């Protein structure tokens, strides 16, 4: 089901949590809401679910205005970070709950509910655990049960709030791949909230980057990583280094020297230069480059991360070098970013 969030604003006791957010989600899409805590991503998810009511704006499921519907009528599957399983029910009863509480002819027979529960348990790879209680399961297993329970009602949209947040790193990676497989198999429109960018970039069809109650950028992993459209996104996604610079005569300057980066279209004046630490070319002779004194050098997995002090103000930035690169031993290093972006200084 398509989901359309139209100019939604949400205030909690006068404190705005979301400002005028709009978002179109295509049917069958897997969308990640990514942002630091307090960015409003969970609020947006809860608004879609109907667990909160928007202060202004509307939310459409397909053509229907869902903001007028109660939570029960919206038919969404919601999965919480801490599972929120019903402790006093077996795994099978948990999964069947959404079907059992239906009224009249839409309620399947007890036998049908049982069949459906064990089918879903097969799907989440927990066959044979029907009779267990949640207390007898591991964290990863509980989250799978929570997902199966959400899927049992054939939801219009599946909403996951930091679904892997409470799990350890290995289980997390495993479940991430598994969620992608399930999504490909079932095709539910899915929105999940995360503050883990690796999770968002790896898993989602499109990533929605949020900050301070607004959407900063919406795009595929490639778009978000390669062409960030704001200093926030550049800084938040992946590693980045930032330097204060000046634009003059179609050139980028640091202090009183041009650094060999042409910027014919950038407006004149103060700006901030962003680049990725690994995306740099070392140069031997510095005529038009960024040069700095090595302040620290650390080995990080497959690369060496070198911290440089640039210019008179001793601005610190990081670049990454191959482990065996001789430059890491030198006291001065000169480089030029291969790919970079300028944002006018705020």
Partner 1 sequence: MTTAPAKAGWRFRQPSVIPGFGLTLGFSLAYLTLIILIPLSGLIWRSAALGWADFWAIATDRRTINALEISFGTAFIAAMVNVVFGTIVAWVLVRYSFPGRRIVDAMVDLPFALPTAVAGIALTTLYAPNGWLGSLLAPLGIKVAYTPLGIVIALIFIGLPFVVRTVQPIMEEIDKEVEEVAATLGANRFQTIARVLLPGLAPAIVTGFALAFARGVGEYGSVIFIAGNLPYKSEIAPLLIVIRLEEYNYAAATAIAAIMLALSFVMLLVINLVQTWSRKRYG
Q: Does the footprint of partner 1 cover residue 255 (CB under 8 A)?
A: no
CB of residue 137 vs partner 1: minimum separation in angstroms?
10
68 scored as a contact of partner 1 (CB under 8 A): no
- Among residues 9, 55, 60, 80, the one that binds partner 1 under rule CB under 8 A: 80
Q: How many residues does the chain have?
A: 346
- Helix, strand, coil in percent for the chain, rounding step 5: 30, 35, 35
- DSSP annotation of 270: E
Burial letters for 69-101: b for 16+ Cβ neighbours within 10 Å, e otherwise? eeeeebbbbbbbbebebeeebbbbbbbbbbbee
User: In this structure, what is the dihedral angle of CA atoms 125, 131, 137, 142, given to the nearest 10 degrees?
Assistant: 60
Cα distance between residue 97 and residue 106, in whole Å: 14
Minimum CB distance to partner 1, residue 204 (Å): 22
Structure tokens at 223: 């778009």
Per CB under 8 A, does 228 bind partner 1?
no
Q: Does 88 bind partner 1 (CB under 8 A)?
A: yes
User: Should residue 49 be labelled a site residue for partner 1 when binding is judged by CB under 8 A?
Assistant: yes
Stretch binding partner 1 (CB under 8 A), from 8-16, 145-153, 188-196, 274-282: 145-153
User: Is 192 a residue that touches partner 1 (CB under 8 A)?
Assistant: no
Nearer to partner 1, 82 or 332 (CB): 82
CB-wise, 44 or 215, nearer to partner 1? 44
Which strands form 15-25's sheet, in the order they lie side by side?
15-25, 3-12, 56-61, 64-65
Among residues 11, 57, 133, 291, the one that binds partner 1 under rule CB under 8 A: 133
Per CB under 8 A, the list member of 54, 77, 140, 277 interacting with partner 1 is 77
Give bridge partners of residue 64 from the DSSP assignment. 61
- Strand-strand pairing, 290-300 and 303-310: antiparallel
Residue 314 contacts partner 1 per CB under 8 A: no
Residues near partner 1 (CB under 8 A): 49-51, 71-72, 74-78, 80, 82, 84, 86-89, 97-98, 101-102, 133-136, 146, 149-150, 152-153
């Amino acid at each position: 089901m398509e989901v359309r969030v139209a100019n939604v604003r949400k205030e909690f006791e006068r404190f705005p949590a979301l400002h005028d957010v709009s978002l179109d989600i295509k049917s069958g899409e897997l969308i990640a809401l990514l942002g630091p805590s307090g960015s409003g991503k969970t609020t947006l998810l809860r608004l879609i679910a109907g667990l909160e009511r928007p202060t202004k704006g509307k939310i459409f499921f397909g053509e229907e205005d869902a903001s007028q519907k109660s939570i029960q009528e919206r038919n969404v599957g919601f999965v919480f970070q801490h599972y929120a399983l019903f402790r006093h029910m077996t795994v099978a009863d948990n999964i069947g709950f959404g079907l059992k509480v239906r009224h009249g002819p839409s309620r399947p027979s007890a036998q049908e509910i049982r069949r459906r529960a064990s089918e879903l348990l097969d799907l989440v790879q927990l066959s044979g655990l029907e009779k267990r209680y949640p207390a007898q399961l591991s964290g990863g297993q509980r989250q799978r049960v929570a997902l199966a329970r959400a899927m049992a009602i054939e939801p219009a949209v599946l909403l996951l709030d930091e679904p892997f947040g409470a799990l350890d790193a290995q289980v997390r990676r495993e479940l991430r791949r598994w969620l992608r497989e399930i999504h490909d198999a079932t095709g539910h429109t899915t929105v999940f909230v995360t503050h883990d960018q690796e999770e968002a970039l790896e898993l989602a069809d499109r990533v929605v980057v949020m900050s301070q109650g607004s959407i900063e950028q919406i795009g595929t992993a490639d778009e978000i990583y390669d062409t960030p459209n704001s200093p926030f996104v550049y800084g938040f996604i992946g590693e980045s280094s930032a330097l204060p610079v000046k634009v003059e005569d179609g050139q980028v300057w640091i202090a009183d020297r041009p650094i060999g980066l042409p910027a014919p279209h950038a407006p004149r004046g103060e700006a901030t230069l962003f680049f990725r630490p690994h995306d740099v070319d070392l140069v031997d002779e510095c005529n038009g480059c960024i040069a700095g004194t090595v302040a620290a050098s650390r080995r990080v997995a497959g690369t060496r991360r070198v911290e440089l002090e640039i210019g008179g103000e001793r601005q610190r930035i990081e670049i990454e070098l191959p482990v065996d690169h001789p430059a890491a031993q030198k006291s001065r290093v000169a480089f030029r970013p291969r790919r970079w972006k300028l944002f006018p200084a705020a």
